[in-house]
Amino acid sequence: MAPISTPQTPFGRVLTAMVTPFTADGALDLDGAQRLASHLVDAGNDGLIINGTTGESPTTSDAEKDQLVRAVLEAVGDRAHVVAGIGTNDTRHSLELARTAERTGAHGLLAVTPYYNKPPQEGLFQHFTAIADATGLPVMLYDIPGRSGVPIDTETLIRLAQHPRIVANKDAKGDLGRASWVIAQSGLPWYSGDDMLNLPLLAVGAIGFVSVVGHVVTPELRAMLDAHASGDVQKATEIHQKLLPVFTGMFRTQGVITTKAALTLQHLPAGPLRLPLVELTEHETAQLKIDLAAGGVEL
């Protein structure tokens, strides 16, 4: 059974977009995925995004995606929201992944803006509507024009928010003004998808985070969110400022690369990367250690 949710917090408030652990030879490490999922939920995550970009979804097969969702559900599905990334730039393929995730037992779907083919807004509207119509699962949109090439415009988001199964948006657009308008006009629950903007997005109405740095600082993220929710803006700001070195360090290069390096430094399951992603250099690893230590992360 899925964990408890409300219309205001459909997937909880603090979620981490989980990496996909691999074995030394590059195969899927299901045991490692279960151990990492359990660690992240124990740390305070209400949910996990599986098979998102941080999960190296561009280089995992459909079968591997399904195996991973099954494994994570078995490990933490009774106490955390397990949201399956099903976004591709082919609507038919996304529908297949969505239906498979539903059959497997996922609690929700994450649908990223179609990338590379640069559809117009009507194409985006029809793509996301088709995904929402394909299953009975709640859908979180993922608006990240820096990767997809196309933003979901304000008017399109407001239209999509009217669909009963489109229940949230993960915002990595970096535009607080547009976020403010959509939140105000649609009431769509809003999750920060850009860790540096977690606190600013709370200030304009976001209800939580889908984080990458949550791999290493989930307790701090929850403390910041709780402080803001209780009206202690000063404490929330202090936590935000303390975490600035972590936000910076984890994105000096591609986030999956640094996240897996950080987890390895903490002796947690991660494993190697699949090309075209490559490991940090010795110099980059040394800088990551400095950044994490400056933000209070123990290695």
- CA angle at residue 135 from 154 to 33, to 5 degrees? 90
pLDDT of amino acid 6: 81
In a domain, 71, yes or no: yes
Which DSSP helix (H) or strand (E) runs through 223? helix 214-229
Full DSSP string of 33-87: HHHHHHHHHHTT-SEEEESSGGGTGGGS-HHHHHHHHHHHHHHHTTTSEEEEE--
**Total of domains in the chain:** 1
In a domain, 69, yes or no: yes
In a domain, 236, yes or no: no
For the entire predicted model, the pTM comes to 0.97
DSSP 252: S
In a domain, 222, yes or no: yes
In a domain, 73, yes or no: yes
In a domain, 203, yes or no: yes
Residue 23 burial (C-beta neighbours within 10 Å; 0-12, 13-18, 19+):
middle
DSSP 253: S
pLDDT of amino acid 2: 64
CATH of the domain at 152: 3.20.20.70
pLDDT of amino acid 1: 57
Return d(Cα 44, Cα 210) in angstroms, integer.
13
Contact 295, 217 (CB under 8 A): yes
Residue 194 burial (C-beta neighbours within 10 Å; 0-12, 13-18, 19+):
buried
Residues pairing with 170 in the sheet: 142, 191
Residues noted as catalytic: 142, 170
Range of the domain at 29: 14-231
pLDDT of amino acid 124: 98
Residue 210 in marked binding region: yes
pLDDT of amino acid 5: 75
In a domain, 65, yes or no: yes
Residue 154 in marked binding region: no
Q: What is the pLDDT along the chain (299 residues), one digit of tens a residue?
A: 567 778 799 999 999 999 999 999 999 999 999 999 999 999 999 999 999 999 999 999 999 999 999 999 999 999 999 999 999 999 999 999 999 999 999 999 999 999 999 999 999 999 999 999 999 999 999 999 999 999 999 999 999 999 999 999 999 999 999 999 999 999 999 999 999 999 999 999 999 999 999 999 999 999 999 999 999 999 999 999 999 999 999 999 999 999 999 999 999 999 999 999 999 999 999 999 999 999 999 98
